[in-house]
Chain A
Amino acid sequence: MSRNLDLELVSLTKRYGNTVAVDAISYHFGTGTYACLLGPSGCGKSSTLRMIAGHESVSEGSVLLGHRDISHRPPAKRGTAMMFQNYALFPHLSVADNVAFSLKMQGKDAAHRKTRAMEMLELVDMVALADRLPAQLSGGQQQRAALARALITQPDVLLLDEPLSALDPFLRIRMRAELKKLQRELGITFIHVTHGQDEALALADEIVVMNNARIEQAGQTRQVFDAPKTAFVARFLGSHNVVAMPEGAIAIRSDALELKAPEAAKLPGTITNIEYQGTHVALTAVIPGDQEVTALLSDKDFFGNPRELGEAIGLDWEAGAAHALAG
């Protein structure tokens, strides 16, 4: 019943002249996964997405969808659809005509186009605005129209290029909940490019952290977050301290740190900053080697035993909480 629609990247490479934008990356996205490509700008995540979409030629390697090699097919013949960063809605067409654009290109008749476009607009709750022009829509509405347009071709994989970056923070959180809900309902694979770790953590079943044209670490979101393998991943995902220890660098989550007496703990330190964050208190301390670490304490723990700036403390953690880092 369920078709194999796994998306596979096989040593996918993109070169621009002598620069390598994507360096032989390989990954397997299972059918119906919500995956995030996460990384700083220029890490190759967008090029990767554009190669999957067919808007960028593949220099080497291949993209497989359900075991078919789609690396050299035109964008519309791949089973993928793309939602662009600025939504790329056609400014001269109404929302309904934007959504039905691909059907028009296929030469479908007007009645059929109208019905299908309305179905799609129903899905994203935009029926009332079908006759508006894109310029008359808010950012969130434009995004929904762009989603409907991408989904009307019934793609097996939806590619989203920084879909939330143009929205204000409040709307961003609402739209990301809607994206996740839509993905669950449709059951198709979503591949979402972002540089926001909170967005990735909130949405993704799997995350692929990229840096310098390579995959730094990839896997189930929780596994990656709980056990970052490199200092880059630990820092990029946030909420981690990277500490150089005599036996090598380790990553420890800031909420895994406990405060103890200096002599009873693994690391001695001096408090340099205390930041109240509502539910938590972030406490920054300097430890030997002039390194800064941040401990995140619940407000109850902190105010049960308040500390002062400049106070000497000991930082301790459970044995399993620290992860040795490579590189």
Chain B
Amino acid sequence: MLQNRHLTGWLMATPLSLVLLVFLVAPIIMIVVVSFWGATEWSIYPAFLFDNYEFLLTSEVTYRVFFNTFKYAVITWACTLLIGFTVAYYLAFHIRSLTWQIALFLLCTIPFLTSNIIRMISWIPFLGRNGIANSTLISMGVIDEPLDWLLFSDFSVILAFVHLYTLFMVVPIFNTMMRIDKSLIEAAADAGASGWQTLWHVIVPLTKPGIMIGTIFVVALVMGDFITVRFMSGSQSANVGRMIQNDIGLLQYPSASATAVVLLVTVLLLIGTLLRFVDIRKEL
């Protein structure tokens, strides 16, 4: 009987374990293995070399690119947090009826009915030299010459990131906020807290797990991105994803794998550090 129960447990866990094993664990192991392989201009060969890592970690370009990636991640995180928190706060605490909350929440997701690439590319005619933004500003008399930094710049990259990923911040924060007992807000008012004090001393601390989950989403997405950076910077800026993509384009798989491993470790360390500060277990 006991034997049987154990067997059932294993059987039930098997499908998911297999999927994760084949599609997550095996590829990662593969990448780690290949990252130690050797490469020439025209071939790659199995080996156990540290050349790829040595080259990666001694190259000044690596540090510049990693710095750039962090810069995108931090700025995007700050913007999505600010916007996401505000939107979630408005939905959770200022919209009284559940029907409206759901309706407005669904409204937030409408842009996500189209693909990432289309949403990204639609910025290009808007931000371009003769785009809508520049022509509007000129006709309003705010500027005389078109602004060059609107498109194919760090600005446009971050703008696209914020546009693409803010919802990933809104959803977990909104979810956490909806679980805050409304009588806590009244209790704060009863204790003489102003609106800002209630926000800072009650709502923000209680929303931390949601903020943390959103942070993990956004940071992981931005750190691993390559396509947004490519389109929105007009291939003028690079992040780690672009570096890997370049290597792959040159068939330098060992080097690409080494970069991927370093990126993976960096992101895992980052998330590990974040999780030390906030306990997100009760959110799951």
Contacts and interface: CB of A to CB of B under 8 A. Distances in A.
A153 B192 contact: yes
Contacts of B183: 84-86, 88
Give chain B's interface secondary structure class: helix
Given A92-B205, A92-B206, A104-B201, A84 B189 contact: no
A53 B206 CA distance: 25
A234 interface: no
Contacts of B201: 101, 104-105
B206 A105 contact: no
A81 B190 CA distance: 6
Contacts of B188: 90, 101, 105
Most chain B CB within 10 A, of A86, A89, A92, A150, is at A92
A76 B186 contact: no
Contacts of B184: 88, 90
A197 interface: no
Contacts of B193: 76, 101-102, 105
B204 to A, nearest CB: 10
B189 A76 contact: yes
Contact of A102 (B191, B194, B205, B206): B191
Given A86-B183, A88-B181, A105 B190 contact: no
Contacts of A84: 183, 186-187
B186 A55 contact: yes
Contacts of A90: 184, 187-188, 202, 206
B14 interface: no
Nearest to B183: A88
A85 to B, nearest CB: 7
Contact of A76 (B181, B192, B205, B206): B192
A86 B190 contact: no
Contacts of A55: 186, 189-190
Q: Bin chain B's interface residue count.
A: 10 to 19
Interface in A48-105: 53-55, 74-77, 81-82, 84-86, 88-92, 101-102, 104-105
Contacts, number: 63
Interface string B179-217: 001011011111111100100011001100000000000
Contacts of A153: 191-192
A214 interface: no
A101 B206 contact: no
A94 B206 CA distance: 14
B187 A105 contact: no
Contacts of B181: 86, 88
B187 A76 contact: no
Interface string B211-227: 00000000000000000
B198 to A, nearest CB: 9
Contacts of A150: 190
Contacts of A54: 189-190
A149 B202 CA distance: 15
A305 interface: no
A127 to B, nearest CB: 21
A279 interface: no
B192 A105 contact: yes
Interface in A159-184: none
Interface in B96-125: none
A77 B191 CA distance: 10
A106 interface: yes
B192 A53 contact: no
Contacts of B194: 105
Nearest to B194: A105
B197 to A, nearest CB: 5
Contacts of B202: 90
Interface of B: 181, 183-184, 186-194, 197, 201-202, 205-206
Q: List the 9 closest pairs (A to B, CB-CB), nearest first.
A: A76-B192, A102-B191, A88-B187, A88-B183, A92-B205, A105-B193, A75-B190, A84-B183, A101-B191
Interface of A: 53-55, 74-77, 81-82, 84-86, 88-92, 101-102, 104-106, 149-150, 153
Given A54-B190, A90-B188, A90-B202, 8 more contacts: A55-B186, A55-B190, A77-B192, A82-B186, A84-B186, A86-B183, A105-B188, A149-B191
24 contacts: A53-B190, A74-B189, A75-B189, A75-B190, A76-B189, A76-B190, A76-B191, A76-B192, A82-B190, A84-B187, A85-B183, A88-B181, A88-B183, A88-B186, A89-B187, A90-B206, A92-B206, A101-B191, A101-B201, A102-B193, A105-B192, A149-B191, A150-B190, A153-B191
